[in-house]
Structure 1
Amino acid sequence: ANLHHFDWGILGGVKFDVILVDPPWQEYFDRCAAIGATNEDLTPWTLEEMLQLPVEKIGDTPSFCFLWCGVTHLEDARQLLHKWGYRRCEDICWLKTNKKAAQRRREQNAAHVNDVLDYKATQLVHDETSILQRTTEHCLMGIKGTVRRSQDSHFIHANLDTDILISEQEEEVGCTRKPEELYDIIERFCLGRRRIELFGRDWNRRAGWVTVGCEFGLTTFDAKT
């Protein structure tokens, strides 16, 4: 489903306890374009387009929103959370442990460094706006409403996990797939069972979740069940 034209009424008025959003940020498009990777449709959305998503209408009270924002879109993500009615409460950081290892393997396998495309594929992406090589991404967590750990243990389990994800990045050049460990963190923390992911792909298919995205296959969603 293309979220530009998605009929939100299909959800049957369901209010969700957890909303996970992984938008096609400009950062992802620039990163993949720099190395010639086109394995995904990464046509970027503008902030104005994302602000039009009616996330505030599908989130229950209380509920939580988890929003991936790369490295360069932290301020944009804070603006989105505010517009959608969420207060930022945590910043989960993904540390990509294998980024340089993947570079070394690709360099060893490159037969001709004079070939421009092959050479670019062996390089880490160097952003002219960054001083250090970036090996992290951020996922902001927002809360809507009020929950108290002393009273709402039926809904949340706090302090079970840390705010750091240490996980390998996909070896496929240009892949924007995020670590599955985030699902585990979310499901351990929030016991609400109504969960939805926006901008999902086939690899995001997960039991107990509704997944919406333009590169997602056939749906099994039924608002009545």
Structure 2
Amino acid sequence: MPGSGMTDSHPAPLRPDNGLDPLPRTVGGFSTILADPPWRFSNRTGKVAPEHRRLDRYSTMSFEAIKALPVSEAAAKNAHLYLWVPNALLPDGLDVLNAWGFRYVSNIVWAKRRKDGGPDGRGVGFYFRNVTELLLFGVKGSMRTLGPGRSQVNMIETRKREHSRKPDEQYELIEACSPGPFLELFARHPRPKWTVWGDESAAEITPRGKVHKGYQGGAILPPLLPNEHIAEPVAEALSQALKARYCEGSSIRDLAEDTGYSIQRIRSLLNLAQVEMRPRGRKSP
């Protein structure tokens, strides 16, 4: 299909630059646009490369093809752009932002954290091990952020998920700080209130790439000593975070291994959250 980067037998590692579906349009244009382009690195064969044949994460586009997308035409006269860019391609990201009709004014840093809140050192990089990514913020015309944006810090601290997936917390932040209508380019999932565009944006499509254990996201939980007493508000917050993951399918043993908490503590916190336990050894369907 147009813009899919697919062949009859195997996903093509390079997306055809001239086979993209038209960008969505709305009357008056989109006031807020979020984009996570499939940037193409010079090394396309290494294990961290998006086009790695065996890992098959996603197809990429050339810098010139990304730059040529008519995003300015889809945007309102006054609009905000949130543009994800890898640290190594920051100059390219700024060029794309300008080519799309926006001027750079700030950025939001995604700090990838371990379960205990420390930097997640599983990142990659030739000079330094990257534990951050940048979300560039640009403005077209003249439009300030909404009221909540005036007190919003420019950092998102979360645990990372599968390869290249950005934190879901970005949506709540963007929706609070910028007005609709909203458009997401290169989306991986549909989302209420958003118009989405991309190969994997339809609900029936499963994003490509393997999900590895330890990349399920989730709350950042503080380390606890085996018999450490925790205050009631902290215990309540922990119990709700564990409840959410348990109800999503994690077992008690999974939660214990991931958090470092004892199985007994996990059970106690789930009981505090009034969770109906599954039979032992079974995960939710």
TM-score normalised per structure 2: 0.57
Which AA in structure 2 matches 1:21? A
2:18 is equivalent to residue 2 of structure 1:
no
* Alignment partners' CA distance in 1, 2:110 and 2:138: 17
2:105 is equivalent to residue 141 of structure 1:
no
2:200 is equivalent to residue 200 of structure 1:
no
Which of 160, 163, 175 lines up with 1:187 in the alignment?
Answer: 175
C-alpha spacing 1:212/1:9, structure 2 compared with 1 (3 Å): closer
Q: Which residue of 2 aligns with 1:127?
A: 125
Which structure 1 segments of 5+ residues have no match? 105-122, 150-155, 220-225
C-alpha spacing 1:209/1:100, structure 2 compared with 1 (3 Å): same
Q: What is the 5 A alignment of 1:157-168?
A: 157=147, 158-168=149-159
CA-CA distance at 1:159 after TM superposition:
1.3
* Alignment partners' CA distance in 2, 1:57 and 1:196: 13
> Do the aligned residues in 1 keep the contact of 2:188 with 2:201 (CA within 8 Å)?
yes
2:69 is equivalent to residue 53 of structure 1:
yes
Q: Could you say what secondary structure the match of 1:24 adopts?
A: coil
Which AA in structure 1 matches 2:66? M
Q: Could you say what secondary structure the match of 1:176 adopts?
A: coil
Which of 40, 43, 54 lines up with 1:26 in the alignment?
Answer: 40
Q: Could you say what secondary structure the match of 1:139 adopts?
A: strand
Q: Which segments of structure 1 move beyond 6 Å, counting only runs of 4 or more? A: none
Which structure 2 segments of 5+ residues have no match? 5-16, 205-285
CA-CA distance at 1:124 after TM superposition:
3.9
Which of 101, 106, 119 lines up with 1:85 in the alignment?
Answer: 101
Q: Which residue of 1 aligns with 2:113?
A: 97
> Do the aligned residues in 1 keep the contact of 2:24 with 2:74 (CA within 8 Å)?
no
Q: What is the 5 A alignment of 1:10-21?
A: 11=25, 15-21=29-35
Q: Could you say what secondary structure the match of 1:8 adopts?
A: coil
Q: Deviations over 1:106-159 (max 9, x none)?
A: xxxxxxxxxxxxxxxxx945533x1x211000010000011357xxxxxx2231
CA-CA distance at 1:19 after TM superposition:
0.7
- Greater RCO structure (CA 8 Å; 6+ sep): 1
Q: Could you say what secondary structure the match of 1:60 adopts?
A: strand
Q: Could you say what secondary structure the match of 1:165 adopts?
A: strand
* Alignment partners' CA distance in 2, 1:148 and 1:125: 34
CA-CA distance at 1:33 after TM superposition:
3.5
> Do the aligned residues in 2 keep the contact of 1:198 with 1:211 (CA within 8 Å)?
yes
CA-CA distance at 1:178 after TM superposition:
0.5
CA-CA distance at 1:31 after TM superposition:
6.1
Q: Deviations over 1:13-46 (max 9, x none)?
A: 6510011110111359656349x672532x2211
2:92 is equivalent to residue 76 of structure 1:
yes
Q: Could you say what secondary structure the match of 1:26 adopts?
A: coil
CA-CA distance at 1:182 after TM superposition:
1.1
Which has more radius of gyration? 2
CA RMSD after TM alignment: 3.3
Which AA in structure 1 matches 2:202? G
Which AA in structure 2 matches 1:44? T
Which AA in structure 2 matches 1:196? L
> Do the aligned residues in 1 keep the contact of 2:23 with 2:197 (CA within 8 Å)?
no
* Alignment partners' CA distance in 2, 1:127 and 1:99: 22
Which AA in structure 1 matches 2:35? V
* Alignment partners' CA distance in 1, 2:182 and 2:133: 22
* Alignment partners' CA distance in 1, 2:151 and 2:100: 26
Which AA in structure 2 matches 1:183? Y
C-alpha spacing 1:10/1:24, structure 2 compared with 1 (3 Å): closer
C-alpha spacing 1:135/1:125, structure 2 compared with 1 (3 Å): closer
